[in-house]
Amino acid sequence: MRRRACLFGLAALPLLAACSPKPGGKAMPPGSKVLALGDSITHGTGASPGEDWPSLLAARTGWQIENAGVPGDTTAGALQRLPDLLEQHRPALVIVELGGNDFLRRRPQAQVKEDLRRILQLIRAQGAQAVLVAVPELSLMALVASRPGDAPIYAELAGEEQVPLVAEVLSEVLGRPEWRADQIHPNAAGYAALADGLAQGLQSLGLLAAP
Protein backbone atom coordinates (compact mmCIF):
# COMPACT_ATOMS: atom_id res chain seq x y z
CA MET A 1 0.00 0.00 0.00
CA ARG A 2 1.18 3.51 -0.82
CA ARG A 3 0.79 6.06 1.96
CA ARG A 4 1.76 9.70 1.72
CA ALA A 5 2.64 11.63 4.85
CA CYS A 6 0.06 14.34 5.47
CA LEU A 7 1.08 17.73 6.73
CA PHE A 8 -2.08 17.96 8.82
CA GLY A 9 -2.34 14.45 10.31
CA LEU A 10 -3.36 11.11 8.85
CA ALA A 11 -6.21 8.68 9.45
CA ALA A 12 -5.53 5.53 7.40
CA LEU A 13 -7.81 2.83 6.06
CA PRO A 14 -6.49 -0.52 4.90
CA LEU A 15 -6.12 1.04 1.43
CA LEU A 16 -7.38 4.59 1.77
CA ALA A 17 -6.37 7.66 3.75
CA ALA A 18 -7.83 10.98 4.85
CA CYS A 19 -6.23 14.20 6.04
CA SER A 20 -7.55 17.35 7.63
CA PRO A 21 -6.00 20.59 8.83
CA LYS A 22 -8.65 20.88 11.55
CA PRO A 23 -10.33 17.57 12.43
CA GLY A 24 -13.05 17.44 15.02
CA GLY A 25 -16.00 19.18 13.37
CA LYS A 26 -19.57 18.60 14.43
CA ALA A 27 -21.15 15.48 12.94
CA MET A 28 -24.05 16.26 10.61
CA PRO A 29 -27.24 14.31 11.32
CA PRO A 30 -29.21 12.23 8.83
CA GLY A 31 -31.28 14.43 6.56
CA SER A 32 -28.57 17.08 6.23
CA LYS A 33 -28.36 18.69 2.81
CA VAL A 34 -25.08 17.99 1.03
CA LEU A 35 -23.91 19.05 -2.42
CA ALA A 36 -21.45 16.87 -4.33
CA LEU A 37 -19.72 19.26 -6.74
CA GLY A 38 -17.63 17.49 -9.33
CA ASP A 39 -17.06 16.08 -12.78
CA SER A 40 -17.67 12.69 -14.39
CA ILE A 41 -16.31 10.84 -11.35
CA THR A 42 -18.96 12.49 -9.17
CA HIS A 43 -21.56 11.96 -11.90
CA GLY A 44 -20.78 8.22 -11.87
CA THR A 45 -19.42 7.62 -15.36
CA GLY A 46 -18.28 4.01 -15.67
CA ALA A 47 -21.04 2.49 -13.55
CA SER A 48 -24.81 2.07 -13.61
CA PRO A 49 -27.27 4.63 -12.20
CA GLY A 50 -27.30 4.50 -8.42
CA GLU A 51 -23.73 3.19 -8.23
CA ASP A 52 -22.15 6.68 -8.15
CA TRP A 53 -20.38 7.64 -4.94
CA PRO A 54 -22.88 10.39 -3.93
CA SER A 55 -25.74 7.84 -4.04
CA LEU A 56 -23.73 5.29 -2.08
CA LEU A 57 -22.61 7.87 0.47
CA ALA A 58 -26.19 9.10 0.87
CA ALA A 59 -27.38 5.55 1.58
CA ARG A 60 -24.64 5.12 4.16
CA THR A 61 -25.09 8.47 5.94
CA GLY A 62 -28.76 9.29 5.55
CA TRP A 63 -27.76 12.68 4.15
CA GLN A 64 -29.69 14.25 1.28
CA ILE A 65 -26.90 14.44 -1.28
CA GLU A 66 -27.46 16.31 -4.52
CA ASN A 67 -25.23 14.92 -7.27
CA ALA A 68 -23.91 17.99 -9.11
CA GLY A 69 -21.34 16.06 -11.11
CA VAL A 70 -21.05 17.10 -14.76
CA PRO A 71 -18.96 14.96 -17.13
CA GLY A 72 -16.12 16.96 -18.65
CA ASP A 73 -16.48 19.82 -16.19
CA THR A 74 -13.49 21.89 -15.18
CA THR A 75 -12.85 23.98 -12.10
CA ALA A 76 -13.73 27.11 -14.10
CA GLY A 77 -16.99 25.57 -15.28
CA ALA A 78 -17.94 24.46 -11.79
CA LEU A 79 -17.18 27.91 -10.44
CA GLN A 80 -19.65 29.42 -12.91
CA ARG A 81 -22.50 27.09 -11.97
CA LEU A 82 -21.84 27.02 -8.22
CA PRO A 83 -23.77 30.18 -7.20
CA ASP A 84 -27.03 28.83 -8.66
CA LEU A 85 -26.44 25.44 -7.03
CA LEU A 86 -25.87 27.01 -3.63
CA GLU A 87 -28.97 29.17 -4.00
CA GLN A 88 -31.13 26.28 -5.15
CA HIS A 89 -30.05 23.61 -2.68
CA ARG A 90 -28.72 25.60 0.31
CA PRO A 91 -26.43 22.77 1.46
CA ALA A 92 -24.85 22.52 4.87
CA LEU A 93 -21.82 20.80 3.32
CA VAL A 94 -20.25 20.82 -0.14
CA ILE A 95 -17.87 18.01 -1.13
CA VAL A 96 -15.61 19.26 -3.95
CA GLU A 97 -14.09 16.75 -6.39
CA LEU A 98 -12.65 18.68 -9.33
CA GLY A 99 -9.48 19.16 -11.34
CA GLY A 100 -9.07 15.96 -13.34
CA ASN A 101 -10.30 17.45 -16.61
CA ASP A 102 -8.10 20.50 -16.09
CA PHE A 103 -5.07 18.23 -15.75
CA LEU A 104 -6.04 16.25 -18.85
CA ARG A 105 -6.26 19.54 -20.77
CA ARG A 106 -2.85 20.54 -19.38
CA ARG A 107 -4.07 23.68 -17.64
CA PRO A 108 -1.39 25.09 -15.35
CA GLN A 109 -1.88 23.76 -11.85
CA ALA A 110 -1.55 27.27 -10.44
CA GLN A 111 -4.69 28.27 -12.36
CA VAL A 112 -6.55 25.17 -11.23
CA LYS A 113 -5.57 25.92 -7.65
CA GLU A 114 -6.90 29.47 -7.83
CA ASP A 115 -10.21 28.30 -9.31
CA LEU A 116 -10.53 25.79 -6.46
CA ARG A 117 -9.69 28.53 -3.96
CA ARG A 118 -12.52 30.69 -5.30
CA ILE A 119 -14.89 27.72 -5.14
CA LEU A 120 -14.02 27.06 -1.49
CA GLN A 121 -14.32 30.73 -0.58
CA LEU A 122 -17.71 31.02 -2.27
CA ILE A 123 -18.99 27.96 -0.41
CA ARG A 124 -17.94 29.37 2.94
CA ALA A 125 -19.31 32.81 2.09
CA GLN A 126 -22.72 31.17 1.70
CA GLY A 127 -22.46 29.67 5.18
CA ALA A 128 -21.75 26.08 4.13
CA GLN A 129 -18.85 23.86 5.10
CA ALA A 130 -16.48 22.68 2.38
CA VAL A 131 -14.50 19.46 2.09
CA LEU A 132 -11.89 19.10 -0.63
CA VAL A 133 -11.22 15.73 -2.26
CA ALA A 134 -7.71 15.39 -3.67
CA VAL A 135 -7.51 14.37 -7.33
CA PRO A 136 -4.62 12.49 -8.94
CA GLU A 137 -2.03 14.37 -10.93
CA LEU A 138 -2.98 12.54 -14.12
CA SER A 139 -0.22 11.59 -16.51
CA LEU A 140 0.06 8.85 -19.10
CA MET A 141 3.07 7.32 -17.34
CA ALA A 142 1.32 7.22 -13.97
CA LEU A 143 -1.84 5.70 -15.42
CA VAL A 144 0.05 3.02 -17.34
CA ALA A 145 2.03 2.18 -14.21
CA SER A 146 -1.21 2.20 -12.15
CA ARG A 147 0.44 4.46 -9.60
CA PRO A 148 -1.32 7.82 -9.72
CA GLY A 149 -0.71 10.21 -6.86
CA ASP A 150 -2.53 13.30 -5.59
CA ALA A 151 -1.63 16.57 -7.27
CA PRO A 152 0.25 18.68 -4.70
CA ILE A 153 -2.06 21.67 -5.04
CA TYR A 154 -4.74 19.99 -2.90
CA ALA A 155 -2.66 19.69 0.26
CA GLU A 156 -1.27 23.17 -0.35
CA LEU A 157 -4.71 24.70 -0.78
CA ALA A 158 -6.19 22.87 2.19
CA GLY A 159 -3.47 24.28 4.39
CA GLU A 160 -3.71 27.80 3.01
CA GLU A 161 -7.51 27.96 3.26
CA GLN A 162 -7.81 25.78 6.38
CA VAL A 163 -10.28 23.51 4.61
CA PRO A 164 -10.60 19.79 5.44
CA LEU A 165 -8.99 17.51 2.90
CA VAL A 166 -9.69 13.87 2.04
CA ALA A 167 -6.45 12.69 0.45
CA GLU A 168 -5.23 9.60 -1.44
CA VAL A 169 -8.70 8.01 -1.68
CA LEU A 170 -9.33 8.70 -5.37
CA SER A 171 -5.68 8.09 -6.26
CA GLU A 172 -5.84 4.70 -4.56
CA VAL A 173 -9.03 3.71 -6.40
CA LEU A 174 -7.65 4.72 -9.81
CA GLY A 175 -4.45 2.86 -9.00
CA ARG A 176 -6.31 -0.46 -8.82
CA PRO A 177 -7.13 -1.90 -12.28
CA GLU A 178 -9.89 -4.06 -10.83
CA TRP A 179 -11.59 -0.89 -9.57
CA ARG A 180 -11.53 0.96 -12.91
CA ALA A 181 -13.94 1.05 -15.82
CA ASP A 182 -11.24 2.77 -17.88
CA GLN A 183 -8.03 4.69 -17.19
CA ILE A 184 -9.78 7.66 -15.56
CA HIS A 185 -13.10 6.35 -14.18
CA PRO A 186 -13.95 3.85 -11.44
CA ASN A 187 -16.29 0.94 -12.05
CA ALA A 188 -19.06 -0.09 -9.63
CA ALA A 189 -16.57 -1.68 -7.23
CA GLY A 190 -14.35 1.38 -7.46
CA TYR A 191 -17.20 3.74 -6.64
CA ALA A 192 -18.10 1.57 -3.66
CA ALA A 193 -14.49 1.79 -2.45
CA LEU A 194 -14.49 5.53 -3.07
CA ALA A 195 -17.70 6.00 -1.07
CA ASP A 196 -16.26 3.91 1.78
CA GLY A 197 -13.05 5.94 1.76
CA LEU A 198 -14.91 9.23 1.74
CA ALA A 199 -17.14 8.08 4.59
CA GLN A 200 -14.15 7.11 6.71
CA GLY A 201 -12.45 10.36 5.82
CA LEU A 202 -15.52 12.34 6.85
CA GLN A 203 -15.62 10.40 10.11
CA SER A 204 -12.00 11.31 10.80
CA LEU A 205 -12.90 14.94 10.18
CA GLY A 206 -15.75 14.71 12.69
CA LEU A 207 -18.40 15.47 10.06
CA LEU A 208 -19.88 11.97 10.11
CA ALA A 209 -20.68 9.97 13.20
CA ALA A 210 -19.08 6.54 13.40
CA PRO A 211 -21.55 3.68 12.78
Q: How far apart are CA 161 and CA 91, in angstroms?
A: 20
Burial of 153 (0-12, 13-18, 19+ CB in 10 A): buried
136, β-bridge pairs:
150
Whether the CB-CB separation of 137 and 95 falls below 8 Å is answered with: no
**pTM of the predicted model as reported, rounded to 2 decimal places:** 0.88
pLDDT at 150: 94
pLDDT at 148: 76
pLDDT at 137: 84
Whether the CB-CB separation of 44 and 52 falls below 8 Å is answered with: yes
Residue 194: which of 33, 43, 23 has the closest Cα?
A: 43
Query: In degrees to the nearest 10, what's the CA dihedral of 187, 189, 193, 195?
Result: 70
pLDDT at 183: 86
pLDDT at 147: 66
Coil, helix or strand for 37?
strand
pLDDT at 179: 96
Q: What is the mean pLDDT of each run of 10 residues along the chain (211 residues)?
A: 32 42 70 98 97 98 98 98 98 97 94 98 96 84 66 97 96 94 95 98 93 76
